[in-house]
Amino acid sequence: MTYYNYIISLSLAATILCSCDNSNGKADGYGNFEATEITVSAENNGKLIQFEVNEGDQLIKDQFLGYIDTIPLALKREQLFVSKEVISSKSKGVLSQINVLNAKLKTANTNKSRSENLFKDNAGTQKQLDDVQGEIEVLHNQIRSVEIQNAPVVNELKSIDIQLKQIDDQIQKSKIINPINGTVLTKYSEPGEITSFGRPLYKIADLGSMQLRVYISENQLANINIGQDVTIKIDDADTMKSYKGKISWIASVAEFTPKIIQTKEERVALVYAVKVDVTNDGSLKIGMPAELWLNNSNTY
């Protein structure tokens, strides 16, 4: 009787262990590692004078890598400065006329005040007051006329200032500045080549944190959540190497459009994409295959 009870106890324990491991020794998902890749392109046209980049280089954000020839832009900038000086010299003559007229206007306003006081004291006539007022109106009209004549010159100076800002912006964009911390994956251009706006120079990605894209079945969807901790495994010699991962994204729709009418068996074939963030210790590479193990499915 004791032997019989022992056998039953072993059978019950085996059943419990089997029910606690619903993966049957298989991973819950399979996929490949990927990273956010950025292609850095030229922002100006010209000869690539300096470009200190090699594949595999570790770059930091805002690092200066080289520049595109800026001599044509610098010459155009100098030409605009000369044009601005010539136009400004013309404008100075007009401004001097306005200054003379403003001085006369100030004197006329003083005379007007005196005439008004004399008229109040019956020491002056209405004609004297009218003459001063007429002189003031004439000066105002002359100033407006000169300002109208000077308007094209002022607008031309404003136009040159805008062109100078555009040249300065193009010169700044001739510098090649690295946008993020990361590793150079591919180099597309070499120093001495003629490049153009939008032409790729190199590709970079931050490999410090990788993303594993895996696909899970519809039946597994209820068992995962964003922010959930999972285990990631990769091949390592004769065993598997494990990493800690965290689910960062779950697709809201299936990868394949379902039919209008589906059987129960067909619905199982639908899969959903999932992204898992994994800290890279240097062993993980883009495109490397890996396995997803849900922590609540491979341990009791």
Task: Look up residue 214 and give its two tokens.
Answer: 């895996």
Q: How far apart are CA 206 and CA 78, in angstroms?
A: 41
Q: How confident is the model at residue 202 (pLDDT cuts 50, 70, 90)?
A: very high
Burial group, residue 147, by CB count within 10 angstroms (0-12, 13-18, 19+): middle
Q: How far apart are CA 98 and CA 145, in angstroms?
A: 10
Q: How confident is the model at residue 1 (pLDDT cuts 50, 70, 90)?
A: very low
Q: Which long-range contacts (C-beta less than 8 Å, at least 24 apart) are formed by 47-51? A: 47/192, 47/193, 47/194, 47/195, 48/189, 48/190, 48/191, 48/192, 48/193, 48/194, 48/195, 49/191, 50/191, 51/176, 51/189, 51/190, 51/191, 51/201
CB 273 within 8 A of CB 213: yes
pLDDT digits (tens, 9 = 90+) for 88-138: 777 666 667 777 788 888 888 888 888 788 778 777 778 777 788 888 888
Q: How many percent of the chain have pLDDT more than 70? A: 83
Is pLDDT above 60 for 241? yes
CB 136 within 8 A of CB 113: no
What domains can be seen in the chain, in order of their start residue? 23-37+206-294 (2.40.30.170), 41-69+175-203 (2.40.50.100), 71-173 (no CATH)
Amino acid at 300: Y
Q: How far apart are CA 64 and CA 138, in angstroms?
A: 62
Is pLDDT above 80 for 216? yes
**What pLDDT was estimated at residue 261?**
44
**What pLDDT was estimated at residue 191?**
95
Model pTM greater than 0.85?
Answer: no
pLDDT, greater one: 19 or 94: 94
